[in-house]
A and B are shown apart, each in its own frame.
Chain A
Amino acid sequence: MKLFGSGHGACPGCGLPIAVKSVLEGTGPCFVANATGCLEIISSQYGKSAWGVPYIHSVFENSAAVAAGIEAALKALGRKDEGPVVVFAGDGATADIGIGCLSGMFDRGHDILYVCLDNEAYQNTGNQQSGLTPPGSNTTTTPSGKVLPGKIKPKKDMVSIALAHKAVYVATASVAYPRDITRKAKRALEFEGPKYLQIHSVCVTGWGVDGKQAIPVAKLAVETALYPLVEYENGQLVRVKKIKDRKPVEEYLKLQRRFRHLFKHPKGKEVIAELQKIADENAKKYGLDA
């Protein structure tokens, strides 16, 4: 039986199955706790589960705590050798509504790999903004209008938040690089304690990209330095994905409906400049330019 099999209901071009399969390839048989969200809905309908691993979905904001309970039970029952404990949760479940449980999981030092599937909004319910929605994104709760150019504030810095909790392994990845995801999942499990892996995952409907364009778009997020791929071990930055000939952010933005308004909105230029500044700062902070 496949660990994450066929039969899931993801849209063609959706990044989530790529992310999940790539993680499970690295972890092997494991215990999965999943937050309410896209992944849960496409994979866990009663009678149609796509999971070949023990899987639990409780509620929206508690998957880090549910995973902590699984880990504690395995310890108490002497069953830790059955496999690692992995969380899959969306960006909203991670950075917004579930951040209390996540902080508790980090703080108590549970031996868990927490994977945040970052499609940059509440996509399951139709593209409402989350703490990980980038500036300028036109979501249904931060729409662009005559005055406002979409989402105002930058993405919440979950990598720093994880590092501040002394998570033993913290990394970002992208569905454009599945083998990198697998390697990182595998590497993460070499560390005992709480581990955080945030995977940039394309949402074809929410972002407004053609299914065939999903991977090129994801790649551009990395190549513009808007989504830097970084890896920390015990708090130290150990690896980054270097970028040859870093591309301007417009190349990434113009392929997506969620940013289209920026090219004609009165404040669009300002927002694009802000996004370019974020990319430049990422490149500098992590030494991304090859």
Chain B
Amino acid sequence: MSSTFDQVATIIAETCDIPRDTITPESHAIDDLGIDSLDFLDIAFAIDKAFGIKLPLEKWTQEVNDGKATTEQYFVLKNLSARIDELVAAKSA
């Protein structure tokens, strides 16, 4: 279990009042956890602060709308955590 996932899960639990033990790496933030776009702004704010990055939400949303990506690629938590790790690595490179 990655520490990134643990941090993201804790942020989601605290931000959206979702029991922490129901959040797994396979959870889809939208489909499984019921997080809407407004709540996701709060989550993005907290993730940006915690990891010192800027989640490219607009780019991701555009890619999904254009059919170039699926929501699973960005919003299943193990995938979201991997994207965060990539952004952190790119920042420190």
A binds B: no
B residues near A (Cβ < 8 Å) are: none
